[in-house]
Amino acid sequence: MITRHYKVLGIALVVFCSFTIVPERIAWQPNKTLSWTDFKGSPNGKGSFVASTSSGMSQSYVIDGRGMLDKSETEVVAHFYPEYSWYRAKDTTARLLKHEQTHFDITEIHTRILNARIQSYNFTSNSKKEVKALYEEVEEQRRAMQRAFDEETNHSINREAEKRWETKIERLLLPQ
């Protein structure tokens, strides 16, 4: 009876896992910019915002049986999430699309920061906890920069501030 229970549980887990839906995502690329067709979500209520970019840092890594992270098997990628990104078609401009691209570029900058931090960190047998702490620290910095960008540019209304940010972000994206 117990054996049968485990078999059923195993089958149920396989069936459940096969129906898990991974949201569409677009990896950041140096020579590819977003287009409005990449934004597939629905506008968020009747607010005053014209567009919203959803992006984040995805990471994969291998931790061996001793709890040590294998840096050569670590990958950190900036992703744009089309289903959670949206715009109001009547209000779009090329300048606004550039603003949304800059949000995605900020995520790429922090992806590079996280990757560099992982590569230079001296991990212990507690690697899973350590890599999570690194991620959380860089993620907080990313969110802070995203907020500062929107505040200083007044969500792309302040053209002078927008130009300063674009220049800063372009410089940070240059190969090191």
105 token code pair: 């570029």
What residues contact 95, with CB distance under 8 A and at least 6 apart?
156, 159, 162
What proportion of the chain, given as a percentage, has pLDDT over 90? 80
Average pLDDT for 36-42: 96
Q: What's the whole-number average pLDDT of the chain?
A: 88
Segments in the chain forming alpha helices (H): 2-18, 94-120, 127-153, 159-173
Tell me the C-alpha to C-alpha distance, in Å, between residue 36 and each of 15, 46, 86, 113, 150: 36, 19, 8, 28, 19
- The pLDDT score that the predictor gives to residue 52 is 94
What proportion of the chain, given as a percentage, has pLDDT over 70? 88
Which is higher by pLDDT, 18 or 94? 94
The yes-or-no verdict on residue 126 having pLDDT over 50 is yes
Reported as a single tens digit per residue, the pLDDT across 49-70 is 899 999 999 999 999 999 999 9
Average pLDDT for 78-86: 97
The yes-or-no verdict on residue 19 having pLDDT over 90 is no
Q: List phi, psi (to 5°) of 69.
A: -75, 135
- The pLDDT score that the predictor gives to residue 22 is 67
- The pLDDT score that the predictor gives to residue 47 is 75
